[in-house]
Structure 1
Amino acid sequence: MRIFESPIQIGISACLAGDKVRFDTGHKRSNFCMDELGNYVEYKKFCPEVAVGMSIPRATIRQVRVGDTIKVCRPDGSGEVGEKLTEYGKTVAHEQAKELSGFVFCAKSPSCGMERVKVYNEAGTGNSSEGVGFFAAQVMKHNPNLPCEENGRLSDPHLRENFVTRVYVYKHWQELNLDCVGVHELTQFHAQHKYLLMSHNYESYKALGKLLGHAAGRDLDEVKEEYIGGLMKGLSRPASRKNQANTLSHLQGYFKNFLSKVEKREMCEAIDHYRAGIVPLYVPLTLIKHHLTVHGNEYLAKQVYFNPYPNELKLRFGI
């Protein structure tokens, strides 16, 4: 795993950090964020509702569809704060989110929800889960490559692992001196992330390789922006068991001239058992890492796939 020059900073809804900023003076502390991931990152806390002047405690607010527009207000229609939340979101998006490597939002919140936020009809007699929190919408809109996730979804081991992977890859990208990065350096970066990206989205790996192969003569800033956009989009698809197994099989091929028949059979069985869901990813991965240590391979040793984040997080134990 790469050692970064500066701490990883992640934005987080303040209530998820344990701050008592909710309407009822409560919080929604995320144990994973604060007790596990928090050992490796720094958080910048945001409560948009408090930031726009709402008190603690306060009346609840909701998203309400009025004609063709959606406003954020109290259930009785008073105290509309949608415009203030939007403007605050734009400010954070432009002035602070650029320094972040990820963001964890509070699910279902009319200000912070990433998706499936309830939007009520004007009469308050029904709702649909079609909204996006007004604050979160601006952060995501103006920082489309920023890894974002909701607290509830982080309970899923695959989504949790996927989010942390994206955070670390994005931080790696942020620490490149992009003003001094040319096609050669981009190609090296792409090569280091080859098997990680293959395990998530093989088509993205091929497309980005083609992008860099045809970069000569193009505006380099445009190439960089297209590349990181494609990389983060490709990684946003959680790695499937099938793709992981295919990636492991590719890696196995590097050792075919070094292993005995027994060792080859052992590795094939470990990959097949993972493919079938009998063992978690770390079982065949640990075996391949063992052979890499014994036999050595400079190219593979640089692969982010083997250690995308601190092993102590144990994220591959559950997938």
Structure 2
Amino acid sequence: MDRDHRSAPQDDRIPVGISACLQGREVRHDGGHKHSRYCTEVLSRYFRFHSLCPEMGAGLSTPRQAMHLVDTDQGVRLKATRGDRDFTDLMTGFVDRTLDGLAGLRGFVLMAKSPSCGMERIRVYREDGEVGRRDASGLFAGALMARYPLMPVEEEGRLNDDRLRENFVERVFVYDDWCRLREQGLTAKGLIEFHSRHKFQLLAHSEATYRRLGPMLADLKSRPLDEIADDYIGAFMPAMAQRVSPGAHVNAMLHLAGFLRDHLEDADRRLLHEQIEAYHRGDVPLVVPMTLLRGAQRKVAQPYLARQQYLNPYPDALGLRNRV
């Protein structure tokens, strides 16, 4: 089930959706783009991007009229910023035609502030032209998240935040693992193995969820397996979206270190704990104690720890733990 993080052949990259303008395609209303080099030059080594522009997909041309969301008696509508043209039916038609075909994606990178692709904090105007609220999602983005609530979704601009970027990439790899499990056929053994290899990631993100999901899997004959699996992942993925505090990482690392305690020399054990404490103080990034933990695990060859995705949740080449 595990992917080899050392390399990602072109045909083995994880399928992830992306707003087409972020790939440098000139599809925006002004004929321009919002090329994200991080997506196209870094993430594309491991993600096979499937680009999509809702406006173009709805049949609009570029350049075109700028649009925004408007609160009306008929609900929120997608309208031209000047004039009365209403694009809502075109957009909802595109959404209805498209969403079913996105089931194979493991994540989606959206364009911020867009009335179609914006993930959050999108302005909704009153009919008098004034901003009424700033709490909406774009019409496509909102429908995508409603249809696939477990799918990791993030805005490109938020990927500039080190912790949000690391969290999104981690969730994509976990969600891909889950989807592959379901595609290959759910079994009790497969579900237990999934939980086993991701349990320390879950512990770091949410100890409360970690303590709740273990007992859920204790008796897999109590209910239909599909029902248990749906309840399990329905709690697991939202927990993974929670940011991990340094203290939570320390807690997870100390749990891992406990498995190695009796097998390490005193000097190695002291060094490991010193660097965990240094990370907690903010003196070193997470990669430092994690590298020591991985090295200790390889030296001891502890089979249980070798399966833990917390030690290697995504390719090292992404450098994500160097900055958190």
Indicate if the aligned counterparts of 2:186 and 2:226 stay in contact, CA closer than 8 A: no
Among 236, 239, 247, the residue aligned to 2:241: 236
Provide the residue aligned with 1:258 in structure 2: 263
Matched, 1:192 2:197: yes
Q: CA deviation at 1:192?
A: 0.5
Decide which moves more: 14-23 or 68-77: 68-77
User: Counterparts in 2 of 1:269-288, with a 5 A limit?
Assistant: 269-288=274-293
Among 159, 170, 184, the residue aligned to 1:154: 159
Equivalent position SS for 1:118: strand
Q: Distance in 2 between matches of 1:306 and 1:90?
A: 40
Matched, 1:51 2:57: yes
Q: CA deviation at 1:254?
A: 1.3
- 1:219-261 residue CA offsets vs partner (Å, 9 max, x unmatched): 2111121122211111011221111011111111112112233
Provide the residue aligned with 1:76 in structure 2: 82
Task: State TM-score, norm by structure 2.
Answer: 0.94
Indicate if the aligned counterparts of 2:209 and 2:235 stay in contact, CA closer than 8 A: yes
Provide the residue aligned with 1:86 in structure 2: 92
Q: Which amino acid aligns with 1:108?
A: K
Indicate if the aligned counterparts of 1:90 and 1:139 stay in contact, CA closer than 8 A: no
Indicate if the aligned counterparts of 1:145 and 1:232 stay in contact, CA closer than 8 A: yes
Provide the residue aligned with 1:12 in structure 2: 18
Indicate if the aligned counterparts of 1:90 and 1:138 stay in contact, CA closer than 8 A: no
Among 303, 311, 316, the residue aligned to 2:308: 303
Indicate if the aligned counterparts of 2:69 and 2:124 stay in contact, CA closer than 8 A: yes
Decide which moves more: 138-147 or 176-185: 176-185
Q: CA deviation at 1:309?
A: 1.0
Q: Distance in 1 between matches of 2:35 and 2:153?
A: 17
Indicate if the aligned counterparts of 2:106 and 2:175 stay in contact, CA closer than 8 A: yes
Q: Which amino acid aligns with 2:236?
A: L
User: Counterparts in 2 of 1:105-120, with a 5 A limit?
Assistant: 105-120=110-125
Q: CA deviation at 1:179?
A: 6.4
Q: CA deviation at 1:174?
A: 1.3
Equivalent position SS for 1:71: strand
Q: Which amino acid aligns with 1:63?
A: L
- 1:249-297 residue CA offsets vs partner (Å, 9 max, x unmatched): 1111112112233222211110111111111000000111111111110
Q: CA deviation at 1:29?
A: 1.0
Equivalent position SS for 1:193: helix
Q: CA deviation at 1:306?
A: 1.1
Matched, 1:171 2:176: yes
Decide which moves more: 49-58 or 209-218: 209-218
Q: Distance in 1 between matches of 2:301 and 2:187?
A: 29
Q: CA deviation at 1:68?
A: 6.4
Q: Which runs of 5+ in 2 are unaligned?
A: none
Identity between Structure 1 and Structure 2 (%): 38
Equivalent position SS for 1:213: coil
Equivalent position SS for 1:136: helix
Decide which moves more: 5-14 or 227-236: 5-14
Equivalent position SS for 2:262: coil
Which 4+ runs in 1 deviate beyond 6 A? none
Q: Distance in 2 between matches of 1:261 and 1:6?
A: 42
- 1:67-121 residue CA offsets vs partner (Å, 9 max, x unmatched): 4621111123522112322232233221x21110100111110000111001111
Q: Specify whether residues 118 and 193 from structure 1 end up closer, same or farther in structure 2 by C-alpha distance, changes over 3 A only.
A: same
Q: Distance in 1 between matches of 2:166 and 2:95?
A: 27
Question: How many matched pairs?
Answer: 318
What is the root-mean-square deviation in Å for CA atoms of aligned residues?
1.6
Task: State TM-score, norm by structure 1.
Answer: 0.95
Q: Which amino acid aligns with 1:256?
A: R
Provide the residue aligned with 2:43 in structure 1: 37
Among 86, 90, 104, the residue aligned to 1:99: 104
Q: Specify whether residues 177 and 129 from structure 1 end up closer, same or farther in structure 2 by C-alpha distance, changes over 3 A only.
A: closer
Q: Specify whether residues 69 and 311 from structure 1 end up closer, same or farther in structure 2 by C-alpha distance, changes over 3 A only.
A: same
Q: Which runs of 5+ in 1 are unaligned?
A: none
Matched, 1:126 2:131: yes
Provide the residue aligned with 2:3 in structure 1: 2
Matched, 1:60 2:66: yes
Among 293, 307, 320, the residue aligned to 1:315: 320
Q: Distance in 1 between matches of 2:266 and 2:155?
A: 46
Equivalent position SS for 1:26: coil
Indicate if the aligned counterparts of 2:59 and 2:90 stay in contact, CA closer than 8 A: no
